[in-house]
Structure 1
Amino acid sequence: MKERYLCWQTSGWVFSLLLVLPILAIFYTAAGESDEVFSHLMDTVMATYTTNTFLLVVSTSLLALLFGLPAAWIMAMCRIPGERVLQWAMVLPLAMPGYIVGYIYTDWLDYAGPVQIMLRDWFGWQNYQDYWFPDIRSLGGASLVLALVLYPYIYLLARAAFMEQSTSLLQSARLLRCSPWESFRRISLPLARPSIAVGLSLVAMETLGDFGTVSYFAVNTLTTAVYDTWLGYSNLNAAAKISAIMLLAIFLLISAERFSRRKQKLFQQEFEHGDDIRYPLSGVKKWVAVIWCWGLVAFAFVLPLLQLSYYAWHYFAASWTPEFQQYGLNSLKVSLMAAAVAVVLALIFNFYRRLDGRRTTVVPSRISSLGYAVPGTVLAIGVMIPLTGADHLLNDTTIALGLGRPGLVFSGTMFAIIFAFVVRFAAVAVGSIESSLAKIPPSLDMASKTMGYASIQMLRRVHLPLIRRGCLIAGLLVFIESMKELNAALLLRPFNFETLATYVFNFASDEQLEMAALPAILLVIVGLIPLVMVNRSLEQKH
């Protein structure tokens, strides 16, 4: 048996180690001796960077919880007007990149923006000394913007948890004359705690890895420190040490979330088909719930999208340029390649696990999924370290053989971006294909072996036709995530190479949001696809 699947075993372990190599490279480089740059950073600004990062993560998580948890309870447990539209509209902000929302709100709320101009006209104020207005370009402003686009993580998971709770428990609470608030506080909230914790950890990790928003808002965090140390000081060693600190923080977040619910076990039945025990809201409560939910959708998605649409319409001729078309083609190429590679690797990991069946066969797929928890900026450091070493090795070898110097074949081409995207989003493909393969009965495997099919024939003629939809979904999700990825693309792009995400970032950073509107809308439209898929799956389940 071992020899029969030796090819699958070798491929699974080799590719999984390649995908985890960037993470190992970060810790290996960070373990080296500290240089003057890192020592200087530790003595001067590292405490500020760390404090800002901690405050940003905590404040964003709390605001996202404030936004998402009440909305999840309302949509799962209450009957309100327009709920069929709201149940999918509530997740639309996930399609809007945080830095784009930040640029728009800064444009609106700055001293020269329309909101403050209108206030000065109404009240006759002459300058900023006559009144106080909160500064949007601050840590609080960055937290608010990030919470607006990240609260759907908590909303989705909490809503699903509320909808899966036992009908008998909720009916018992009503028989005991518990008010809706008491039922929420004493039954629904404790049962949904694991899902809420997962949602909070996702918000925290996304906030920790954000670069576009905090950079524009001039909030110095560990992510901006990695970027500045690498590009500003040209010091990969110091950047690796800061990246290692961020990775440890992420692992602590994940470990704390799992440790907090290590002894918690839930055994409950979902809502029975046809049961509708939701609370009918009326009067003031109904309109407060409607305004709360639609207000979140409006401020986090509708209003920014309308502003982008206005800019795109009026500046379409100036935006539709050969550069825009070329950068769109660049994004298409690297995203398609990353999606194809990720799907192939996911097939190898999952099919090897299905063929062998031993406990150790799950390790390659789990190792390959670690990159999803790594912020793009940190991942770029980890990718660059081994690729630079591979370039040096290749050039030294070709020179020794008298073949000349090929240059930066790995670290200076699209290969670096594609490799980073595969490492970052392989977990998405692995999870999708794993769930598809799990639905195929083992009897088909036995029948295939009885007919004399080799493992590759079994995959090609039996399993692939059955999991074709899962493979397409996996590739689509990796493609969409790669199209939107900014952090890794900023640091790994070759010279004179831009993606749509970096194109938008460059224009918006130069206060030219009008020129960035058209590509930004394209990124938003692309981001809507997985959200529609998620909501359709929720509707089919419930």
Structure 2
Amino acid sequence: MASTAKASALNRPVRWLPAALKAGALLSGALCLLPMVAVALAALLGGTDTLSHLIETVLGRYAMATGALVILVSAGTVLIGTGAAWLVTMTRFPGVRLFEIGLALPLAFPAYVLAYAYTDLLDHPGIVQTTFRDLTGWGPRDYWFPEVRSLPGAAAMLTLVLYPYVYLLARAAFLQQSATAYLAARALGRSAWGAFFRVSLPMARPAIAGGALLAVMETIADFGTVAYFGVQTFATGIYTSWFSLADRSGAAQLALALLAFALLLAMLERISRGAARHHGAGARFERLAPAHLTGTRAAGAIVLCALPVLFGFILPVVVLAEMAIGSGQDLLSPRYLGFIRNSVTLAGAAALLTVLAAILIGFNQRLTPGPVSNGAAHIARIGYAVPGGVIAVGLLVPFAAFDNALDAFMQGTFGVKTGLLITGSIWLLVIAYMVRFMAAALNAYDGGQASIHTNMDAVARTLGSSPGAMLRRVHLPILRPSVLTAALIVFVDVMKELPATLIMRPFNFDTLAVQAYRLASDERLAGAAVPSLVIAAVGLLPVILVCRGLGHRPNAAETGMAPELS
């Protein structure tokens, strides 16, 4: 009897829980919206003098450099990612299984780490130019060599680490295509390449566009690469205005311009995903078996797939390892252990807070669907399209004002100085990470939640389970892999994040990313290799996780049909 009463008490509906879930979801969405509102208000209240000065001096240069980077990176990622995805999906050649995973590995590197490696390799004192001078006997002024520290160099670094976005999405789209449309085009007289360009490529276009837009959003958010290469973009302009010039209004107005562009890209990405979701050509009536390549075609496919892996992963690892061995940096020294501890502390706290907020938003949207819950989820996802520098400015402006007002009130009323309680704290930085990477956590959580049929919720509620009990006993056990995946993705993203960390970190609180940037800025590239390798090693975890989730290749035994490539 007592056990029955206890079970009844456990399953009794908790009337305040739906309201608490809604409040938590709305608070999380409000925190994600706060930086954008604060940036807009600070920019609009900053006056026209600052804006006029920016237009006359740097705005055009920032816009041209950012636009050129976007064009170069989007073109490079689409060409490399789409071509590699088609080859490993629709053809068979020696080593294709290794390339399926290897082509995604460059995603583990932040672009600024590649910049450090290639600067050491290709700069004037680097091994490439030194060997060239030794072989030819020429002096430094006797030949021309491409300058790695340039806008094209920055575009190359970003392309090498961001093409996996296009590759992964395009590969998934090619795997989901039916052979019917392709074979119909071949039967109507189209060549293999003609069928690819007229049938397969248009069907995969939404996925390719989505991957390209993700790469572009990462490009406009990048700070470490462009700052190290001396390329003046909106990201570097925000940092310079905030710190070097102490121009808060100018930083806010630059951030607003970048925010508008980022939100436009987010809207385009959402439209692209919507087109992919409603595209009817992906239904699997018949799987298209991969074609077997031999001879020169197989050799060409190997070369085309090996080059991105070589330049995007293998060569940087070799260069960084060689630099690290002779750097004299001790990864086990108390100083480096402090960097690791700070990085892990920030990444762990951000992963925990972001996943908890994602659960609140996602479960509230499922429990009480409607405009409010859906709006909170949409707002929370916007942060991924907002660069870290914009989020940093958007959080520092209101919280600095709050700290100053509180300090003035406490000093005038009680004679007590409170100082900066929130601004410059670890927790404000963690909130910035939550805003920046909430979309990644929400996408992972929603992907798992979609596999739980609504009938399971109905059964749990029929048996008397409260919303909290349903979340604890039904959803979370099923969603454990999705929740862990979300936490891991956020953890690694925070380990790599640089602009928000540089702007918002507490005094004398440095991370591995900050240490790598600082050493590289002082031209101590060998020293920068040590924290860079640690960051890349941690970044391999989600890449391997994503590769494990890639679809299985169709084989010829399933259909008995293979496309001709002649």
| TM class by smaller structure | over 0.9
Residues 126-275 of structure 1 aligned to structure 2 (within 5 Å): 126-128=139-141, 130-256=142-268, 265-269=278-282, 275=287
The aligned residue for residue 15 of structure 1 is: 28
The aligned residue for residue 280 of structure 1 is: 292
Question: Pick from 46, 50, 54: which aligns with 2:59?
Answer: 46
- Residue 439 of structure 2 aligns with an amino acid whose one-letter code is A
TM-score normalized with structure 1 length: 0.94
The aligned residue for residue 493 of structure 2 is: 481
TM-score normalized with structure 2 length: 0.90
Contact 1:167-1:269 within 8 A present in 2 as well? no
Alpha-carbon offset, residue 135 of structure 1:
1.4
Contact 2:340-2:511 within 8 A present in 1 as well? yes
Instruction: Point out the more displaced range, 375-384 or 435-444.
Output: 435-444
Question: In the aligned structure 2, how far is the partner of 1:277 from the partner of 1:409?
Answer: 62
Question: Pick from 13, 32, 57: which aligns with 2:45?
Answer: 32
- Residue 160 of structure 2 aligns with an amino acid whose one-letter code is L
Question: In the aligned structure 1, how far is the partner of 2:374 from the partner of 2:538?
Answer: 32
- Residue 377 of structure 1 aligns with an amino acid whose one-letter code is G
SS in 2 for 1:452: coil
Instruction: Point out the more displaced range, 171-180 or 188-197.
Output: 171-180
The aligned residue for residue 91 of structure 1 is: 104
Question: In the aligned structure 2, how far is the partner of 1:108 from the partner of 1:4?
Answer: 58
Question: Pick from 124, 130, 135: which aligns with 1:122?
Answer: 135
Alpha-carbon offset, residue 254 of structure 1:
3.5
Instruction: Point out the more displaced range, 463-472 or 394-403.
Output: 394-403
Instruction: Point out the more displaced range, 501-510 or 463-472.
Output: 463-472
Question: Pick from 544, 563, 566: which aligns with 1:532?
Answer: 544
The aligned residue for residue 440 of structure 1 is: 452
SS in 1 for 2:200: helix
Contact 2:396-2:423 within 8 A present in 1 as well? yes
Instruction: Point out the more displaced range, 173-182 or 222-231.
Output: 173-182
The answer to whether residue 79 in structure 2 is matched with residue 71 in structure 1 is no
Which stretches in structure 2 are left out of the alignment for 5+ residues?
1-12, 555-566
Pick closer, same or farther for the CA change 1:443–1:270 going to 2, 3 Å.
closer
Question: Pick from 402, 411, 424: which aligns with 1:412?
Answer: 424
Deviations 1:347-382 (A, max 9, x none): 111111222233442211111111111011111111
Pick closer, same or farther for the CA change 1:88–1:272 going to 2, 3 Å.
farther
Which stretches in structure 1 are left out of the alignment for 5+ residues?
none
Residues 296-307 of structure 1 aligned to structure 2 (within 5 Å): 296-307=308-319
Question: In the aligned structure 1, how far is the partner of 2:147 from the partner of 2:60?
Answer: 23
Pick closer, same or farther for the CA change 1:4–1:537 going to 2, 3 Å.
closer
Identical columns (%): 38
Alpha-carbon offset, residue 313 of structure 1:
3.0
The answer to whether residue 516 in structure 2 is matched with residue 504 in structure 1 is yes
Contact 1:391-1:407 within 8 A present in 2 as well? yes
Contact 2:124-2:130 within 8 A present in 1 as well? yes
Question: In the aligned structure 1, how far is the partner of 2:273 from the partner of 2:418?
Answer: 53
Alpha-carbon offset, residue 179 of structure 1:
2.6
Deviations 1:71-123 (A, max 9, x none): 11111111111111110100111111111111221222222222122222222
Alpha-carbon offset, residue 143 of structure 1:
1.0
Pick closer, same or farther for the CA change 1:208–1:326 going to 2, 3 Å.
same
Pick closer, same or farther for the CA change 1:433–1:74 going to 2, 3 Å.
same
Alpha-carbon offset, residue 271 of structure 1:
5.2
The aligned residue for residue 398 of structure 1 is: 410
Pick closer, same or farther for the CA change 1:287–1:182 going to 2, 3 Å.
same
Contact 1:163-1:270 within 8 A present in 2 as well? no
Deviations 1:478-537 (A, max 9, x none): 111111111110111111010111111111121212212222111111111111111111
Question: In the aligned structure 2, how far is the partner of 1:35 from the partner of 1:161?
Answer: 48
The aligned residue for residue 454 of structure 1 is: 466
Pick closer, same or farther for the CA change 1:317–1:122 going to 2, 3 Å.
closer
The answer to whether residue 71 in structure 2 is matched with residue 58 in structure 1 is yes
SS in 2 for 1:268: helix
Q: CA RMSD in A?
A: 2.3
Contact 1:13-1:364 within 8 A present in 2 as well? yes
Alpha-carbon offset, residue 263 of structure 1:
7.1
Instruction: Point out the more displaced range, 230-239 or 34-43.
Output: 34-43
Question: In the aligned structure 2, how far is the partner of 1:438 from the partner of 1:262?
Answer: 17
Deviations 1:260-303 (A, max 9, x none): 89878521355578x55222222222111101111110011101
- Residue 127 of structure 1 aligns with an amino acid whose one-letter code is P
Pick closer, same or farther for the CA change 1:194–1:121 going to 2, 3 Å.
same
SS in 1 for 2:424: coil
The aligned residue for residue 115 of structure 2 is: 102
